[in-house]
Amino acid sequence: MIIRAAHKNDLASIVDVLDAAKGIMRASGNTGQWVNGYPSQEVILNDIENGHGFVVTEDSIIGYFAFIPSPEPTYSYIEGGSWLNDKPYHVVHRIGSYPDVHGVFKAIMDWCFSRDPNIRIDTHKDNHIMQHCITKYGFTYCGIIYLLSGDQRLAYQKLSI
């Protein structure tokens, strides 16, 4: 798998990947995450324009994610726990891949940790697949954060230093 910066002309392929990821979520009982058109084409284009959008490729685009430097505004308050440290970090958002492709999460995290040893990530309480991937990769559960909408997310952090 190769990871590269996403380009505007990748948008249709990225939308296809994220639609497939939504299908995985719905099929596994996660009906409350990525609703009401999220992530929209505007969100993805914003990721790309800011240099934060990345695609995972084999022969074609099979995954997408955003890799964003701190601070993440919704991470300023955490309930029921605490972050592992207060040092600068990157956050990984909007991870998606096709259901028949395996190893994408690991490839993304390996790539991210080669760029920053301090990573934070969050997911919906009903996204058991992502929770499994996150904890299997060695992230520590830190508490609950709240999105700008007020929705809760389970928050994790991993240090590779």
pLDDT at 36: 87
Q: Identify the domain containing residue 30 by its residue range.
A: 2-159
Torsion of CA 137, 12, 21, 118, to 10 degrees: 20
Specify the residue for token string 């430097």.
69
pLDDT at 66: 98
Residue type present at position 101:
V
pLDDT at 161: 72
pLDDT at 55: 98
Q: Residue 72 has what DSSP assignment?
A: -
Specify the residue for token string 């992530």.
39
Cβ pair 5, 115 in contact under 8 A: no
Q: Along the 161 residues of the chain, how does pLDDT read in single tens digits?
A: 999 999 999 999 999 999 999 999 999 999 989 988 899 999 999 999 999 999 999 999 999 999 999 999 999 999 999 999 999 999 999 999 999 999 999 999 999 999 999 999 999 999 999 999 999 999 999 999 999 989 999 999 999 97
Q: 75-98 burial by CB neighbour count: b if 16+ within 10 A, else e?
A: beebeeeebbeeeebbbbbbbbbb
CB-facing half-sphere around the CA of 115: CA atoms within 13 A: 16
Q: Which residues contact 98 (CB under 8 A, 6 or more apart)?
A: 17, 20, 62, 63
Q: Are strands 90-97 and 118-123 parallel, antiparallel or unpaired?
A: parallel
Check which CATH number belongs to the domain holding 147 and give it. Answer: 3.40.630.30
Q: How many independent structural domains does the chain possess?
A: 1
